[in-house]
């Protein structure tokens, strides 16, 4: 069974009780600064989360971390208000990677070190208002990212809002983020070439 956490605020008492209760079953680090949970967080008992990883789930947001997921040192996973995200069973988010926004990561996905995944952007059309002001007045709708099963996102890549990475895809290092990929294909920066059906 997954450990479900719902919180109306992050208080020292919450951290103390939560980490005391699930350190053993979920192997979640006991550092209170590693987690900020205002929404809903579901963590499989078999997930492994490094001590220095940072996970934030804001109000009216949710994050599901599946069985066998590994979150590496200094990885950041941030789910803002209104966003809902899933990391599927057996997937890895390696060190210094950042996942932010709404996303669905399938099973057995390899997210290499220093990968950035974003589902949000900024308003910038007006030349008479700052980008910050435009964000407040007319925020850009969130564009969820989808990564299928058995994918490999290589080191240094940036996965942009609305990207659909289909099952079996390899995105080489570093590659301009394809908005949509074919299943079981390779995308490499040197040739920007797709090799379809590279597996038997």
Q: 99, 79 in Cβ contact below 8 A?
A: no
Helix (H, G, I), strand (E, B) or coil at 98: strand
Helix (H, G, I), strand (E, B) or coil at 14: helix
Q: What is the pLDDT of residues 1-46, one digit of tens each?
A: 555 555 444 333 334 334 434 443 444 444 444 889 999 999 999 9
Lowest mean pLDDT among 2-11, 33-42, 52-61, 164-173: 2-11
Q: What is the pLDDT of residues 65-119, one digit of tens each?
A: 999 999 999 999 999 999 999 999 999 999 999 999 999 999 999 999 999 999 9
Q: What confidence score (pLDDT) does residue 75 get?
A: 96
- What is the rounded distance in angstroms from the CA atom of residue 197 to the CA atom of residue 24? 43
Q: Which CATH superfamily is domain 3-121+131-194 in?
A: Hexapeptide repeat proteins (2.160.10.10)
Q: What is the pTM of this model?
A: 0.79
């Amino acid at each position: 069974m997954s450990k479900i956490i719902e919180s109306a605020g992050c208080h020292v008492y919450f951290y103390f009780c939560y980490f005391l209760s699930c350190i053993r079953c979920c192997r979640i680090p006991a550092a209170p600064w590693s987690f900020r949970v205002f929404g809903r967080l579901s963590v499989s008992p078999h997930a492994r989360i490094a001590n220095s990883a940072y996970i934030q789930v804001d109000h009216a947001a949710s994050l599901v971390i599946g069985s066998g997921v590994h979150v590496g040192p200094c990885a950041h996973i941030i789910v803002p208000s209104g966003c809902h995200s899933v990391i599927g069973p057996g997937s890895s988010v390696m060190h210094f990677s950042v996942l932010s926004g709404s996303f669905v990561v399938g099973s057995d996905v390899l997210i290499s070190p220093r990968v950035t995944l974003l589902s949000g952007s900024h308003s910038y059309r007006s030349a008479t208002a700052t980008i910050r002001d435009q964000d407040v007045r007319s925020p850009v709708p969130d564009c969820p990212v989808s990564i299928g099963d058995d994918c490999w996102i290589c080191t240094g890549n940036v996965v942009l809002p609305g990207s659909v990475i289909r099952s079996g895809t390899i995105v080489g290092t570093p590659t301009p983020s394809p908005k949509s990929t074919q299943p079981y294909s390779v995308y490499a920066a040197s040739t920007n070439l797709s090799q379809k059906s590279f597996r038997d």
